[in-house]
Chain A
Amino acid sequence: MALTVLALVRTRKLFAAVILSGVYSFLMATVMLTLDAVDVAMTEAAVGAGISTVLLLGALYLCKSEEAKPAHRPWLPLAVSVSTAAILIYGAMGLPDFADPKSPIHQNVVPRYMENEVDVPNVVTAVLASFRGYDTLGETTVVFTAGAGIIALLRRRKSKRDDNEK
């Protein structure tokens, strides 16, 4: 995955960048599978590598522009990125170890969810739909708003469309 991302940074053809981002999403879905996150891996593969690539290709076709030539030498963004990375790694050293059963993430609420008072074996669906149903309502509204926003942005006047379809 690191190689894919490095190639993504360096490439200048936009079509190659879109395909590389699809490859990156698939690799991320595989990594998620090894981390036992089956629902998330399925969603990431379908959404990231499927819908996202289709939308990027559609936008690329509409924009019709191919390459991006950087005008300035990227020293300042590189310095900012490297310093942010150093700060983040310094902070991450204080986080709990990988796969530590005593870390706080496993302690507070999760044992109650896993007791399965809802009698649905897939705990992720149960939490999404029942224990945290409000969040899912908010997310559905966000998706609906995005659809409405795209309709508002990309709509054409109806009379022209009827003329052109005949």
Chain B
Amino acid sequence: MLSQFSHLSYVITVFLMIAGLFIVIARGNLIKKLIGLSVFQTSVYLLYLAPGKLLGGTAPILSAQFTVYSNPLPHVLILTAIVVGVATLALGLALAVRIREAYGSIEEDEILAKDNAFENLQEKHA
């Protein structure tokens, strides 16, 4: 039974990743897409952290009472990734706000329609 259980963490990670991917591809609202992107990123953190744990280990803070520690290397990488992820989210939201002010909506279909209308207008005048 343990061998079946051992890959369960990867299956859950892939499920969360695919849900995030689905939100990014299939929804037209820009803010919903950004939320889906952050869900995707968070599931990738799980993908990195799960292999680092040792059963019976403890947090990687050295002290005299413990001998087995979980692996600290993924923690370092994911710490950087979390902060970079929130920076990306903030920039994406600022872009969405500017798009809303320029086009009047944040639905992908309406933005594309306005762009096409603008291009047709330019072709007619040229």
Q: Which of A143-166 contact B (CB under 8 A)?
A: 143, 145-147, 149-150, 153-154
Measured CA separation A96–B3 after assembly (Å):
11
Contact across chains for B109 and A9 when beta carbons are under 8 A apart: no
Question: Is B16 a contact partner of A77 (Cβ separation < 8 A)?
Answer: no
A9-B19, A98-B9 given as contacts; is B39 within 8 A of A36 (CB)? no
CB-defined contacts of A147 to chain B, threshold 8 Å: 87
Contact present for A105 and B73 (CB under 8 Å): yes
The answer to whether A63 and B100 have CB atoms under 8 Å apart is: yes
Interface string of B43-77 (1 = CB under 8 A from A): 00110011111110111111100000111111110
Decide yes or no: A44 and B70 within 8 Å by CB, A17-B35, A143-B87 being known contacts: no
Q: Is the CB of A37 within 8 A of B59?
A: yes
**Pairwise interchain contact B80-A84, C-beta atoms closer than 8 A:** no
Chain B residues with Cβ under 8 A from A88's Cβ? 14, 17-18
What separation, in Å, do the CA atoms of A35 and B55 have in the docked complex? Answer: 9
Answer yes or no: B122 CB below 8 A from chain A CBs.
no
Which residue in chain A gives the minimum CB-CB distance to B47? A92
B17 to chain A, nearest CB (A): 7
Query: Known contacts A48-B82, A143-B87: does B100 contact A85 (CB below 8 Å)?
Result: no
Closest beta carbon of chain B to A104's beta carbon, Å: 9
A70 touches B28 (CB 8 A): yes
A123 CB contact (under 8 Å) in B12, B18, B23, B62: B62
Query: Contacts A40-B75, A89-B11, A124-B75 known; A9 to B22 CB distance under 8 Å?
Result: yes
Docked pose: A58 CA to B94 CA in angstroms = 10
A36 to B62 CA separation, bound complex (whole angstroms): 13
Question: What residues of chain A have their CB less than 8 Å away from a CB belonging to chain B?
Answer: 1-2, 5-6, 8-9, 14, 17-18, 21, 24-25, 28, 31-32, 35-40, 43-44, 47-48, 51-52, 55-56, 58-60, 62-65, 68, 70-71, 74, 77-78, 80-82, 84-85, 88-89, 92-93, 95-101, 103, 105-106, 109-110, 113-114, 116, 121-124, 127-128, 132, 135-136, 139, 142-143, 145-147, 149-150, 153-154
Chain B positions within 8 Å of A, measured between CB atoms, are 3, 5-23, 25-29, 31-32, 34-36, 38-39, 42, 45-46, 49-55, 57-63, 69-76, 78-80, 82-84, 86-91, 93-98, 100, 105-107, 109
